[in-house]
Amino acid sequence: MVELSRHDSIELKRLSMAANLSSRRSFLDNVDEKGDNPAWEAIEYHAGTDEDPGQVPKERPRSYSRSSKEPL
């Protein structure tokens, strides 16, 4: 059995996390010819479901502080 230093184990953990993130991202980014991905249904993500995509709000929604309902 190989003994790893603390630095080596941290680097292996970082490499593992990067590989995991990369594989998840590529899995969720893949789409078929229709632009769908079956994995999106599993996470309840629905892309492009706007009835009228040309309808854009005329102004930004107001921000509210957490402690009160008064606009900032």
Report pLDDT digits (tens) over 12-53: 999 999 999 888 887 778 888 887 787 888 788 776 655 665
Query: Does the residue 17 lie in any domain?
Result: yes
Encoded amino acid at 27, one letter: F
Query: Does the residue 34 lie in any domain?
Result: yes
Q: Which residues pair with 71 in a beta bridge?
A: 64
Contact 60, 72 (CB under 8 A): no
**Total number of domains constituting the chain:** 1
Query: Does the residue 23 lie in any domain?
Result: yes
Domain carrying residue 29: 8-42
Q: Could you identify the residue written with the tokens 């990067």?
A: 18
Number of neighbours of residue 33 by Cβ within 10 angstroms: 5
What the block records as the tokens of 47 is 């892309």
Q: Tell me the whole-structure pTM to 2 decimals.
A: 0.42
What sign for the dihedral angle of Cα 18, 45, 57, 67?
negative
